[in-house]
Structure 1
Amino acid sequence: MLSYTASVILSVFLRNFEGSLSYCVYIGKNHSADGHAWLAGYGDEPSSHWLEIFPEQSHPEDALVEVGVTPSADLPGVRSSIPQVVKSFRKIRVSYSHYKGVPAPVTNGGLNEHGVAVRSVWSPSRKELIEMTSKVQSGPSYSDLAGFVLERATTAREGVEVIAKMIKKYGESTYGGNTHVIADATEAWIMIEPAGGKGLWAAERLSDDAIRACRPGYIGSIPIACENHPDFIYSQNLVSFAKEMGWYVDGNFDFNAIYGDGAGVWAGARWVENELETRAMKPSRIEFRDMVWALRTERLTGDTAGYGQIVPLVNPVSNQLRMLWHAPSGAVSAPFSPVFMGQTEIPLEFGKHRYLTVGEAARFLDTDKPVCGGPETLSKVSLRTESFTAAVVECKRLLYLILQNTDSFLEQANLAFTQRERSLVLRTKKF
């Protein structure tokens, strides 16, 4: 039987589950013990997750990239092709193999060579916007947009502009509304793209004093009376469309009430923010271990969390020294390890394995024999990779062991991970 603590954990997951429960935390640099901001988070998807480092790439001027969702998505659409950039930046990201009609590999974000980090988090739109979304919608998905930010933006503000231009020119394939939190060493923006296919979006700049937890993404009042406000930018039709639909007349422009679900800030996100605000008031302020806590707390993180990612938003002496911390599954049962932009490869244990990878159950690893059905029946994972231990598998096994007796095992696992991470933090600070 599950212990009482484990039962509580699972009940929290079930009670609050509304599709994807992607989660993100941003900490402004004024709260940081190390003097820099932090961006952390994970995605909740029932498929495999693996770490990838993409090199800088050059593309032909007529190169195209396929984007969008398929008819099998909750909000169906059609795939389309749009121009690729001539040069795409080097980046680190976590990929995964399934999310409701979004073709793999899918991503919630990562870090690029210029120090731009992005996290993608759900953000529910009002019912009318869901209903008016075309069943043949086209344009980039949330995953495509996150990838384009990593490939094309040199600053967080540029990341917002990349998404805005994409939506204006090619549309967007929505799954009901989404958030992108985009940050660099100087500033951060939270950008929400409502459903409906009307090209709507709004972005709020997060200050150096900000502590923001997104689950889901949230923007409140926008000062529309103040033109060129330094902390808010939005699509040209944001206000006019709301008036046209009768959702807004005058006065306070509450973005969540007008275009979102009207529920305000979720209690779980507020709980995380309050806890982090308390920690920020201590003499030590917020450290790496506090960011780990925000992703490891069993009240929010468990079996549904596909991985963990923490980015220190710094400007090192070399772009190759930019790094993020990666946990191969939910951080309750997985330690964080540093991954540097300058790495030429990642350990095969952290790469793509067949475990939980959509479509792999019907494929074979034996490539020496002819297989009925052709290439579609051959695994896309190499023999060499599959011969290595999969970090996700081992961490999942540990999670299920912990859940059988959290009173005994949760504290032990947490202590072991904390000791290892403390040692690694000291070693990485040398860089």
Structure 2
Amino acid sequence: MSYGIYIGRNLTADGHAWLAGYGDEPSSHWLEIVDRADHAPGSTITVGVGPDSDMPGHRTQIPQAPQTARHLRVSYSYYLGVPAPITNGGLNEHGVAVRDIWSTSCDALIEMTPQDQTGPNYSDLARIVIERARTAREGVEIMAALIAEHGYSCYGGNSHIIADPEEAWVVIQFSGGKGLWVAERLGADDIRASRPGYVGVVPLQPDETFLYPDHFIRTAVDLGWYDPASGAPFDVNAIYGDGKGPWEGVAWVEAEMRKRAEAGPITFADVCWAIQTEVLTGDTAGYGQVVPLVHPAHPDLRMMWHAPVGPVTAPLVPVFLGQTEVPDEYAQHRYLTTGEAHRFLDRRKEDKDPDTVSHVPQGIEVADSAVYQFKRLMHLAFQDEALLREVWDHWRLMEARLAEQLPEVLRSAEILLDAGETGLARRVLTRESAAWLAAGLEDCRALVAAGHARLRMRDALNRNGKPLAPAQLW
């Protein structure tokens, strides 16, 4: 289902906007750095969903861009049969950040979706935008053009927040096979949470705040869902969506962030809290991302704060666009990776069935899995309120100390980049991020060992098959 929140720059202590969120998927997650790439004329990419997806369709080929941007992203291996690897977005070298968030269409649109639907799916759209867009507005235009030319494959509707340092857009894509989408602009004074993605009343003609295709209003009229003569507002959520308006959790977190903005500028810790609080974040949150929306002196200095599982019990740690690799512990492992249960690190049957060989390199699989260890810590902490508070305090202190160290690391890399020493700058960024990620994992192991011993000694390990977790609003 996923969750995203945008905070406009006029409301923040740092003077820049933020985009934060996480993905809700029951599969493996891993951090990736994808380099800029040039593609030969005529190159294509495969998009869409297959016949085994929950809402089936056909995979098709669409043209690849001549060049794709360097970017950071989190990928995962399964959701509702959408072909892997899947992504909810990330951050590119131009400063465009993307978050995918589920947004259901109305039942009537879902029912009229063709069984042979084609075109990019939600993950394809997120990936293509971070590969190609130079601004958030261009990201909207890219999505619009792809849907108009190639269609849209869905599992019931979806949305994205596309942001850059100047503005952000909420983009909703609708089921039905009719090429319906709508986008709302967010600016410097806005706070917007999405779960699900939401757009309400729009004008009857597109303007600088609301964009949609030419047939957007007309389709509702033709279906008998809207009468312009009535003078009623065109409420997108009521007509094409679930009709529920902003959900309780969205209203709650937006109100909480508004209170913080009124009490004083919203801080980095406040932004992190919005995706860390146990009121919103639990086991379904597959990871966490917090992106400062800035234009640094060099693209390599762009960064995001990353947590390998839901950050209620994990630290957010800086990763940089300029670093050259992801530590093996944070790369893809077989743990929770769909399909790995029938594969082996063994090639003896490869000739008869290539799918018997694991997709995870053996050299990475022998490293510890950060996701596995942090999941252990999460479920220990969820069994003991005192441990949950201890873990929370530990990670929040770590984040505060990293925030203090971060400017010096960025300044060191900037000096090297100014001098043309790109290789040395990337070495600094890679080394520092790897050290911070390693320290977080080392502390996680220690907290796991202590927490498990504590609960075991008290006979407090939950073995009744009914998981314990803090109450959430969604």
Structure-1-length-normalised TM-score: 0.92
- Post-superposition shift, 1:370? 5.6
Larger radius of gyration: 2
Q: Which moved more, 1:246-255 or 1:115-124?
A: 246-255
Which residue in the other structure is 2:248 paired with?
267
Q: Which residue of 2 aligns with 1:113?
A: 93
| Cα deviation, residue 148, structure 1 | 0.5
Match of 1:56 among 33, 36, 43: 36
Equivalents in 1 of 2:133, 2:178: separation in Å?
24
Matched, 1:360 2:340: yes
Could you list the per-position Cα deviations for residues 166-187 of structure 1 after superposition, in whole angstroms to 9, with x for gaps in the alignment? Answer: 0000000011111111000011
Structure 1 counterpart of 2:261, from 268, 274, 280: 280
Instruction: Output the CA distance in 1 between the equivalents of 2:53 and 2:92.
Output: 29
From 127, 137, 143, the counterpart of 2:123: 143
Q: Distance in 2 between matches of 1:376 and 1:127?
A: 37
Question: How far apart in 2 are the matches of 1:323 and 1:343?
Answer: 10
**Structure 2 counterpart of 1:312, from 292, 296, 319:** 292
Q: 1:206 aligns with which of 186, 202, 218?
A: 186
Query: Is the counterpart of residue 235 in structure 1 residue 225 in structure 2?
Result: no
Instruction: Work out the percentage of aligned pairs sharing the same amino acid.
Output: 54
**CA displacement, residues 149-177 of structure 1 (integer Å, 9 cap, x when unaligned):** 00110000000000000000000001111
Contact 2:91 2:98 in 1 (8 A): yes
Structure 2 unaligned segments of length 5 or more: list them.
411-474
Match of residue 303 from structure 1: 283
Residues of 2 paired with 1:319 and 1:206: CA distance?
24
Q: Which one of the candidate residues 333, 342, 360 is aligned to 1:381?
A: 360
- One-letter amino acid matched to 2:381: I
Look up the SS of the partner of 2:382 in the other structure. helix
Q: Secondary structure at the match of 2:220?
A: helix
CA RMSD of aligned residues (A): 1.1
Q: Contact conserved, 2:206 with 2:212, CA < 8 A, in 1?
A: no
> Contact (CA 8 Å) 2:52, 2:81: kept in 1 or not?
yes
Q: CA shift at 1:55, angstroms?
A: 0.2
- The alpha carbon displacement at 1:374 in A equals 4.0
Higher helix share: 2
Name the structure 1 match of 2:68.
Answer: 88
After superposition, what is the alpha-carbon deviation per residue over 1:64-105, rounded to whole angstroms, capped at 9, x for unaligned?
111101122221111111111111111100000001121110
SS in 2 for 1:298: coil
Distance 1:116 1:387 in 2: 35
Letter of the structure 2 residue corresponding to residue 244 of structure 1: D
Matches within 5 A, 1:339-358: 339-358=319-338
Mean Cα displacement is larger for which, 358-367 or 137-146?
358-367
Greater relative contact order (CA < 8 Å, ≥ 6 in sequence): 1
Alpha-carbon distance in structure 2 between the residues aligned to 1:349 and 1:315: 30
Work out the CA distance in 2 between the residues paired with 1:124 and 1:160.
19
Q: Secondary structure of the residue that 2:10 maps to in structure 1? A: helix
Equivalence for 1:183: 163
1:372 to partner: Cα distance: 7.0
> What is the rounded CA distance, in whole Å, between the counterparts of 2:244 and 2:330 in structure 1?
38
Instruction: Give a deviation string over 1:204-257, Cα, whole Å, max 9, x none.
Output: 001211111101000011022xx4521111111111001111111123111111
**1:194 aligns with one of 174, 178, 183:** 174
What is the identity, as a one-letter code, of the residue corresponding to 1:385? Answer: I
Query: In the alignment, does 2:81 pair up with 1:101?
Result: yes
Residue 382 of structure 2, aligned match among 403, 409, 419 = 403
The residue that corresponds to 2:440 in the other structure is none
After TM superposition, the runs of 4+ consecutive aligned structure 1 residues lying more than 2 A away are 369-375
Secondary structure of the corresponding residue to residue 118 of structure 2: coil
Distance 2:65 2:207 in 1: 31
Q: CA deviation at 1:427?
A: 1.4
Q: Does residue 258 in structure 1 map to residue 236 in structure 2?
A: no
**Superposed displacement of residue 387, structure 1:** 1.3
Contact 2:166 2:187 in 1 (8 A): no
Deviations for 1:20-40, whole angstroms, at most 9, x for unmatched residues? x21010001111110000001
Q: Please give the TM-score of this superposition, normalised by the length of structure 2.
A: 0.84
1:102-157 CA distance string (max 9 Å, x none): 11100111000000000110111111100110000010000000001001100000
Letter in 1 for 2:363: R
Contact 2:349/2:356 (8 A) holds in 1: no
Distance in 2, matches of 1:199 and 1:76, equals 17
Letter in 2 for 1:274: A
CA distance in 1, matches of 2:134, 2:258: 30
Of 369, 374, 392, the match for 1:390: 369
Which residue of the partner structure matches residue 38 of structure 1?
18
Gaps of 5+ in 1: 1-20
Letter in 2 for 1:243: V
Q: Secondary structure at the match of 2:376?
A: helix
What's the counterpart of residue 420 of structure 1?
A: 398
Cα distance, 1:370–1:220 mapped onto 2, change above 3 Å: closer
Give the match for residue 5 of structure 1: none
Say if 1:39 and 1:402 are closer, same or farther in 2 by CA, change over 3 A: same
Q: Does the 8 Å contact 2:31/2:330 carry over to 1?
A: yes
2:6 aligned counterpart, secondary structure? strand
| Matched residue, 2:5 | 25
Which residue number corresponds to residue 154 of structure 1?
Answer: 134
Give the Å deviation of 1:382: 1.5
CA–CA separation in structure 2 for the residues paired with 1:243 and 1:276: 38
Cα distance between partner residues in 1 of 2:314 and 2:224: 49
3-state SS in 1 of match to 2:83: coil
